[in-house]
Amino acid sequence: QSALTQPASVSGSPGQSITISCTGTSSDVGGHDYVSWYQQHPGKAPRLIIFDVSNRPSGVSNRFSGSKSGNTASLTISGLQAEDEADYFCTSYSTNSPYVFGAGTKVTVL
Amino acid sequence: QVQLQESGPGLVKSSQTLSLSCTVSGASLSSGIYYWNWVRQHPGKGLEWLGSIYYSGTTSYNPSLTSRITVSLDTSKNQFSLNLSSVTAADTAVYYCAAQSLGEFFFDYWGRGTLVTVSS
């Protein structure tokens, strides 16, 4: 059981937009603006794509965006491309841990 | 570009100590710019933060592992290490090392991970 809840899989066609949710509690997602998102292709190292809820590191496509409402954070990928097919996981600073993670969401481009 | 690479045995016997190293390139462990972290992912499960170390030697550990975990630095090799004692099958996981910028709450760079299986 992961501390943060993500859907196991999300799929979309090229050009579409998809959203991945990440639900926690008031001790983590809801209580701090320190949610980050990572992309991981098979056999590769995870790559930071969103930090502090909605900020993109230099070099990350603006097709990736993040937001938060209450205890749920979201990652939206717009203009879905074949190269976006990967696993995505969220993490949040937590009052208790100090970091908690989601189990990851597999994104499939149809 | 900072790169991290995990290394160590892929198989550890139950009750023994799991020992992994993380070799860093593109940054000096002594620079004080990053915290150096260990994270693991159990098969089919979410990730779990294990602990971290700063260049000064200051460590922080997951409260659930405090009695079994040690993270240390070897600045001469630009490596940091994880020791996890008294392992059981529940410690079977992919182990990642990751760099976290000082004052930030995310992980800038990660290694590819290494699978460690605990056998009986």
pLDDT band, residue A62 (cuts 50/70/90)? very high
Tokens in use for A46? 């995870």
Distances (CA, A) of B4 to A18, B23, B97, B102: 31, 6, 7, 17
For the stretch B24-47, what's the b/e string if a residue is b when 16 or more beta carbons lie within 10 angstroms of its beta carbon?
A: beebebeeebbbbbbbbbeeeebb
Q: Which of A3, A2, A9, A4 is nearest to A105 (CA)?
A: A9
Residue in B46, B106, B111 nearest the CB of A3: B46
Query: Which residues in chain B show pLDDT less than 50?
Result: none
pLDDT score recorded for residue A4: 94
pLDDT score recorded for residue A85: 97
Q: How far is CA B67 from the centre of its chain?
A: 16
Residue in B39, B46, B63 nearest the CB of A104: B46
* pLDDT tens digits, A72-89: 999 999 999 999 999 999
Chain A residue numbers with beta carbons less than 8 Å from the beta carbon of B113 are 45
pLDDT score recorded for residue B56: 93
Q: Distance from A42 to chain B by nearest Cα, in Å?
A: 10
Average pLDDT for A46-74: 97
For residue A2, give the 3-state DSSP assignment: coil
Q: Distance from A68 to chain B by nearest Cα, in Å?
A: 16
Residues 6 or more apart whose CB falls under 8 angstroms from that of A38 comprise: A46, A47, A48, A49, A88, A89, A90, A91, B107, B110
Q: Are the CB atoms for A3 and A94 separated by under 8 Å?
A: yes
pLDDT score recorded for residue B10: 96
Check A45 against B109: CB less than 8 A apart.
yes
CA atoms within 13 A on the CB side of A63: 13
Question: Closest residue of A to B42, CA-based?
Answer: A103
